């Protein structure tokens, strides 16, 4: 009731939860937009709580290599081949900067 009668407040709280508690430098608008499409599977800011790999705190080099290998097909995958192909090299680097800057948490699912 409280949430449904005040949808704007709910959204504001969500935004604060997503970005307000980060101690990292604020991501730019493009990084936010790009990484938002990963959150459905990889969790907010890459903190996956399910069976999907945690992206938060992956090394930049590992992240870029995985994305390039998904793109080329060198790494077989269920869904990431299709996702990775949608991103340019420049966008992959922006995503790598964003996710490598997130701090891995002990409650994150194992890699």
Binding region for ligand HEC (CB under 6 A): 37-38, 40-42, 52-53, 55, 58, 63, 66-67, 77-80, 83, 95, 111
Identity of the residue, 22 or 37, whose beta carbon is nearer to ligand HEC in the bound complex:
37
Alpha carbon distance 75, 3 (integer Å):
43
**Cβ at position 61, least distance to ligand HEC in Å:** 11
**Cβ at position 20, least distance to ligand HEC in Å:** 22
**Cβ at position 26, least distance to ligand HEC in Å:** 19
Query: If we measure between CA atoms, which residue out of 107, 106, 95, 111 comes closest to residue 52?
Result: 111
End-to-end CA separation in angstroms for the chain? 38
Q: Helices 29-36 and 89-100 meet at what angle, rounded to 10?
A: 90
The 10 Å Cβ neighbour count of residue 91 is: 15
Identity of the residue, 10 or 73, whose beta carbon is nearer to ligand HEC in the bound complex:
73
Identity of the residue, 3 or 106, whose beta carbon is nearer to ligand HEC in the bound complex:
106
């Amino acid at each position: 009731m409280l949430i449904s009668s005040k949808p704007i407040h709910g959204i504001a709280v969500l935004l604060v939860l997503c970005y307000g508690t980060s101690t990292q430098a604020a991501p730019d608008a493009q990084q936010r937009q790009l990484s938002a499409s990963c959150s459905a599977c990889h969790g907010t800011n890459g903190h996956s709580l399910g069976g999907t790999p945690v992206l938060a705190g992956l090394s930049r080099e590992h992240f870029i290599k995985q994305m390039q290998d998904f793109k080329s097909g060198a790494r077989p995958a269920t869904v990431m081949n299709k996702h990775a192909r949608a991103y340019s090299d420049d966008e992959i680097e922006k995503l790598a900067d964003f996710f490598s800057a997130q701090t891995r948490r002990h409650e994150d699912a194992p890699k």
